[in-house]
Structure formats: structure tokens, C-alpha cells
Amino acid sequence: MGAVCGCISDPVDYEGEVNLYFFELHRAVGKGAFGKVRVVEHKRTKKLYALKYIDKAKCIRQKAMANVIQERRLLEEIDHAYIVNLRFAFQDDENCFFVLDLMLGGDLRFHLERKGGLGEEAVRLWVAELALGLEYLHRQRIIHRDIKPDNILLDSNGHAHLTDFNVAIHYSERRMHTSVAGSMAYMAPEVVGKKGYTWCVDWWSLGVTAWELLFHKRPFDGRSAEKITHSILKDPLKYPDNVTQLCSPEGVSALCSFIERNPNRRLGCRPDGQGIEDVKSHPWFASIDWQKLENKEVPSPYVPDTNKANFDVSHELDEFLMVEKPLTHSKRKVNPDLEKMKPELRQLEDQFKVYDFTTSNRTTYYPLNEQIIASKQGTSGSDPTVYDQSQTGTLIPTATFVERSQAGSPLPQDWNHRSVDIPRVPLPQPPRA
């Protein structure tokens, strides 16, 4: 009770460094590996945001400090209409905080599980919106590596936004990445096959996500990591019997083009930033006004009901029942002795920097982020660190994990110079399941 009284009686210095006292805490709307996501209200501006907070002790136990620091750095570089952008970052003695754009429409996993397939018109718009977000990220030399319905949030108007950059990295212009990261069912064959990969993997994951949103099942699945890997590498695409009722031939063609095992022929993957032109010119997107889309002026055919909770209400119930320690405003220790801190806490103190979008200029940390990969202490280079939940929101059926990076394979010598023509895929007669 003392912490609450202190919060009411102590004036907030809005000219000082941003901290939790700047915000009123509202309901919990998501749960992650190290903390929760809550709606917060900036006391001075009255603007609502999403607060993602990460328990330092849990983070240290899971050896995930590097991922938290890297996500914080990457988010500072990003500002785009179809991405959940960082607005503030800070920490107290127990938690690291990300204050992000609030998306009241919920994540696409939530809607998919309640409605089944979400309809071609809506999925086409979301894929187009996310394509613009991906083009932006790749121009920033960022690979998301974990695109899936759980990590796509809708705003109150039904527009799609990419979130959760916990395993995102900068890609190298010179060498391919070999570390395995993301959620297995959405991983590109060059990731699970450990052949070396670059930004093209995000377009594969977008295609797999679109498939799931349309058909309410994933194209590649299995009861074990080995079976999923085999499916991704070898299995042909099998469409549901009612595919013609769920998706147009142009949509089927787009899915085939995104879920193309050869990255040089994959839709969106032509080098030198030209891949987005292939996406824009694909017949499935013929009705899209891309200029209006960039300005967020294309109405969504699927608008979530924001009068209802577009999230799992059990997140809020956990705190109400005191299953977990509730988040409270608390003052930091004055002049902490960094020398006496655990090295991991000292790392967070030093590298999880304060950010305030009203006063800070966005900056790039490239290539500083490139080699920051989380790994469990005492494991070999091939043992994955598994996170059972998305830090941003709902429980997920396929875990997000990161494997320690191995020595990269060099890119093909002509990778950045070769113009790869993606042949116009004939509209296929889909095989039956």
C-alpha cells in the first residue's frame, strides 16, 4: 500500500528521465516468457500505450540478456506504419520496460483460433501491409526471423502490424547466417537445413502465415522437430479440398510464390530492393492502391470489435488472483554500486539505454547488433535455448528459440549484383489433400 500512496503523493518530473511513474497502469493484455504486456496511460498526455516489461531475474536465469538488449537496440532504429514502434524504454531495479504503440485489435492468432480462416480479402490486405513493413526492415538490414500470426497485431481499424523483435538481427552484406532462430513451423528451408540464409527467410514465413490465416492450418507440420524439418524440406504443398471456396487462383499463385524453396525464385526476394516490385505486380495484389496503402488509407475488410477484449483475459486474472507478483511503481536505489552487481545486471544497466521518442533521435547500432545471440550456459553450439511463450502476447503452439551462431557461409559472389528474374507463376490447379 505504501508504494501506491507514494505514487499518488509524489509529483512526477516530466522534464526528467522517463520512468514508470510517468504512466498509469491499466489491464494486462498479454503474457510472455519474462513478464507481461499491460495497457498504460501517459499521465501528462493521456495517450495509451502497451507496456512490455521483462523481469530481470527471469531474464538472467534463462541467459537471455543479449536478446533483450538487442531487441531494445533494434527497436530504436525502427519507425514504420505497419510495425509496432518503440516509444519509450527504461528500467528499474527489477524490470526492463518497453513502451510500444498500443494495438487494441489483438493478435491474429487470437482471431484465427476464434474464427477459423479469416477470409481472402482481409488476408490479402494484411499481407500487402506486412510486405511494406518487411521491405522497410530489410532496407534497414534487419531480419525479423519470427513472422507468424502471434506476432502480427491489429489496430482498432483492422490494420496489421509486425511486433516482437526478440530474435531479430541485422543481416550481413557479406556472409549468410546459420543460427537457427524463430518458430519452427514457419522457418524457411534454408534455416532448418542450416545451409545459410539472409533476409529472404522473412518472405517464406509471411507466405506460411498467409496460408495458415486462409486455411486455418499450416502447410508444414509434424509431431517432432525432425518431422517438421523433413516436411519443410521435402513435402509438396497440399491444399484443402475446399480451396476454391477459400482462395482465388491468384491467391494460390501468391502462396506458391512465397513458399518457394529456392530463395532466388521466391516472391519478394529479388536483390537490391527490387523484390517488393514483384510483390506489387503480382495478380493477387492488382486491386491494391499501394500509395494509399503506404498512407494507411485503404480500409480493412476485417475490423475487430474493440468493445470486447481481443486477448486472453486469463492474463489479467493471474494478477487478480495473485498468481504472480503484480507490477507496481517503485523507486530505484540511489547511486547503486555497479561494482557489487552481478555481471548480468551490470550489463543490463549499461546497455539497456533509456529511450524517449519525444526527445531522442532514432539511431542505428549496425553492425553492433550482428553477433548478439542468446544461448544457455553450458550447452554446446547446437543446443537451442527454447522460450515457451511470446514475450509480446499470447501462448504459442510453436516455440520461439535461438541457437548459438556458427561460422557463417559466404554469400554467393554475385548475390548483390545478379538480377534474378522471378518467372510469373502460372495459376496452378491445386493438388488435393
* 2-103+309-378 and 107-305+387-402: identical CATH topology: no
Q: Where are the domains of the chain?
A: 2-103+309-378, 107-305+387-402
Whether 146 is a known active-site residue: answer: yes
pLDDT digits (tens, 9 = 90+) for 39-79: 999 999 999 999 999 988 888 888 888 888 999 999 999 99
pLDDT digits (tens, 9 = 90+) for 315-349: 544 554 444 566 777 776 666 666 666 777 888 88
Instruction: With 0.85 as the threshold, say if the pTM is over it.
Output: no
User: For residue 377, what is its C-alpha cell?
Assistant: 550456459
Residue of 92, 107, 146, 278 marked active site? 146
Segment holding 11, helix H or strand E: none
CATH number of the domain at 2-103+309-378, please? 3.30.200.20
Looking at CATH, the fold of the domain delimited by 107-305+387-402 is given as Transferase(Phosphotransferase); domain 1 (1.10.510)
Amino acid at 207: G
pLDDT bin (cut points 50, 70, 90) of residue 257 is very high
Maximum alpha-carbon separation in the chain: 69
Q: Is 340 annotated as a binding residue?
A: no
Amino acid at 39: V
| Cell 514502434, residue located | 85
pLDDT of residue 324: 56
Q: How far does Cα 37 stand from its chain's mean position?
A: 14
Residue 147 has pLDDT above 90, yes or no: yes
Q: Which of 17, 36, 49, 93 is nearest to 333 (CA)?
A: 93
pLDDT of residue 97: 94
Mean per-residue pLDDT of the chain: 80
pLDDT of residue 400: 52
367, β-bridge pairs: none
pLDDT digits (tens, 9 = 90+) for 364-411: 776 655 443 333 333 333 333 332 223 332 323 344 555 433 333 333
Q: Is the CB of residue 260 less than 8 Å from the CB of residue 266?
A: yes
In the predicted model, what is the mean pLDDT of residues 257-283? 92
Q: In the chain, pLDDT over 90 holds for what percent of residues?
A: 51
Burial call 201-230: b when 16+ CB within 10 Å, e when fewer: bbbbbbbbbbbbbbbeebbbeeeeeeebbe
Please give the C-alpha separations between residue 421 and each of 128, 207, 259, 278, 285, in angstroms, as whole numbers. 21, 19, 16, 9, 19
